[in-house]
């Protein structure tokens, strides 16, 4: 992420330097005006303590956007927590904002999503994901899109469609790995998760014509989500928007071909074996809305699961005892299959449900890895909670990392301890997939995909890190080097 941002800064730096004096003067003038306006509009309200900016708001934004370790709040939050406590206000990203590292405050906001608060993100997000993306919209349209998504990743679909596809795609990927040849685990996990999603969204198998081109377009699209929103030819943001256009163009062609085949066959229903067919049959969405839905689901299913896989591998490498116990669990599953005469290399749903310690490892990796460190909401009404007022229209940023690193909930929270999930399997302070109306519909898919990946990885390979790497980020942690490692194959189990 830092390399992408550095590139963007390099591209815009000459123009920025020329405009810096005017920019600074404008910021100071606007800051004074905004501060005066906010003071008038919030007169009589009991707002949380904090610094609403002024000329120093530039530094506030720079500190806020600075990358930090996945298991920390970062300098901006830590400094404000020390000054003002767990709930404070500031002026960042061009908006008055209330920040929270208080678990009760966060739970209140998440459970009142759709009532008192709504999803809120930068406009650039809707430019890339689409203005009708499920990750951007609110209200009835969001409910409808979420309902379609929940059906797509329901238990019956996981059993019959996703599970065999994940087995096949993971096994094929690992057959191509070469011993003692370094590769980036992030890239390999990306291949798995992308191919699984595209197979079940568009019935497009890995290796077929157009699949690899679509994957490359998507990788370019993803880089734009992490880049500065500079719309200039050659920048990552510009390339991402071009990739979005190309991806949507391909989706439209596939969609039109589905409609043509249905009409040519003279049948009443679409084949509903993938998400596109299901949406065409069970909704009245426009072509634009279908494109945004499919692209958003590929993004959500790809990014969340990729992070879960890579985080699990990362933390297991540093905990030999957990690695040993996890490998024993998976050896036991294979031996049990062989004992009943099942020689298949793939896994069944019953095999998956036996992976109890695997689920502990995944939960602990998600807790420490904080695949989403913070989320942003906006108050749709004037709200009063815990003695503080939240004015309508203000942004609210919740640090989910604070719930996962709370020592009153988790003993030694900085320690990777998967056994804690055997001692206390349920925790209301465990929010890796969010909570409420915005809770990730694909959380079980992410867990199953991670578990199957780990099953084949642990049974077939020993591995070592080639370079030290650690997940960093201000909102979505990324491995800056892609977690480079090399593997050695293990003997086949008898």
**For the chain, which residues make up each domain, given as ranges?**
2-489
* The pLDDT of residue 304: 86
Q: Which helix (H) or strand (E) holds 397?
A: strand 395-399
* The pLDDT of residue 368: 95
Alpha-carbon gap, residue 369 to 430, rounded angstroms: 12
Is 62 buried (19+), middle (13-18) or exposed (0-12) by CB count in 10 A? exposed
**CA distance to 133, 211, 314, per residue, from 378 (Å):** 18, 38, 35
The pTM for the full model equals 0.88
* The pLDDT of residue 273: 87
**Tokens 């062609």 correspond to what residue?**
253
CATH architecture of 2-489: Orthogonal Bundle (1.10)
Is 440 labelled a binding residue?
yes
Residues of the chain with pLDDT under 50: 1-20, 23-24, 26-29, 33, 36, 40, 55
- pLDDT tens per residue, range 345-403: 789 999 999 999 999 999 999 999 998 888 999 999 999 999 999 999 999 999 999 99
Widest pairwise Cα distance in the chain: 77
Question: How many other CB atoms are found less than 10 A from the CB of residue 266?
Answer: 6
> Which pair of tokens denotes residue 107?
């739970």
> Which pair of tokens denotes residue 491?
């003997």
* The pLDDT of residue 16: 39
Alpha-carbon gap, residue 238 to 339, rounded angstroms: 56
**Residue 200 neighbours by CB under 8 Å, 6+ apart:** 152, 157, 161, 162, 165, 274, 275
């Amino acid at each position: 992420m830092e390399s992408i941002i550095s590139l963007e800064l390099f591209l815009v730096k000459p123009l920025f330097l020329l405009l810096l004096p005017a920019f600074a003067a404008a910021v100071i003038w606007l800051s004074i005006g905004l501060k005066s306006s906010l003071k008038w509009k919030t007169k009589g309200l009991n707002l949380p303590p904090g610094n609403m900016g002024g000329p120093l708001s530039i530094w506030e934004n720079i500190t806020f956007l600075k990358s930090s370790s996945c298991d920390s709040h970062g300098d901006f939050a830590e400094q404000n927590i020390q000054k003002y406590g767990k709930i404070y206000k500031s002026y960042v990203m061009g908006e008055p904002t209330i920040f929270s590292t208080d678990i009760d405050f966060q739970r209140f906001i998440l459970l009142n999503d759709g009532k008192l608060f709504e999803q809120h993100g930068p406009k650039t997000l809707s430019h890339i994901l689409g203005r009708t993306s499920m990750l951007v919209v609110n209200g009835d349209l969001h409910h409808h899109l979420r309902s379609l998504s929940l059906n797509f990743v329901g238990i019956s679909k996981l059993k019959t469609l996703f599970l065999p596809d994940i087995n096949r795609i993971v096994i094929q990927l690992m057959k191509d790995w070469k011993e003692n040849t370094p590769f980036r685990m992030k890239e390999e996990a990306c291949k798995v998760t992308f191919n699984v999603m595209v197979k079940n969204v568009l019935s497009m198998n890995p290796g077929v014509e157009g699949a690899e081109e679509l994957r490359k377009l998507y990788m370019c699209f993803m880089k734009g989500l992490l880049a500065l929103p500079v719309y200039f030819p050659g920048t990552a943001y510009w390339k991402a928007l071009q990739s979005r256009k190309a991806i949507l163009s391909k989706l439209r062609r596939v969609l039109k071909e589905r409609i043509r085949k249905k009409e040519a066959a003279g049948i009443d229903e679409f084949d509903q074996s993938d998400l596109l067919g299901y949406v065409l049959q069970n909704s009245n969405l426009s072509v634009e809305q279908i494109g945004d839905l499919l692209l958003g689901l590929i993004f959500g299913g790809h990014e969340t699961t990729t992070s879960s896989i890579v985080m699990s591998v990362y933390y297991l490498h540093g905990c030999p005892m957990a690695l040993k116990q996890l490998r024993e669990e998976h050896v036991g599953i294979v031996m049990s299959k062989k004992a009943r005469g099942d020689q298949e290399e793939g896994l069944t749903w019953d095999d998956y449900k036996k992976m109890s310690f695997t689920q502990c490892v995944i939960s602990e990796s998600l807790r420490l890895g904080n695949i989403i460190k913070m989320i942003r909401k906006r108050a749709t009404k004037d709200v009063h909670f815990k003695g503080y007022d939240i004015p309508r229209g203000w942004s609210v940023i919740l640090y989910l990392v604070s719930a996962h690193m709370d020592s009153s909930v988790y003993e030694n929270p900085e320690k990777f301890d998967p056994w804690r999930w055997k001692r206390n399997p349920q925790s209301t302070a465990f929010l890796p997939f969010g909570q409420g109306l915005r809770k990730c519909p694909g959380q079980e898919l992410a867990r199953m995909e991670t578990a199957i990946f780990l099953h084949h990885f642990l049974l077939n390979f020993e591995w070592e890190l080639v370079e030290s790497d650690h997940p960093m980020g201000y909102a979505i942690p990324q491995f800056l080097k892609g977690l480079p490692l090399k593997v050695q194959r293990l003997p086949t189990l008898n």
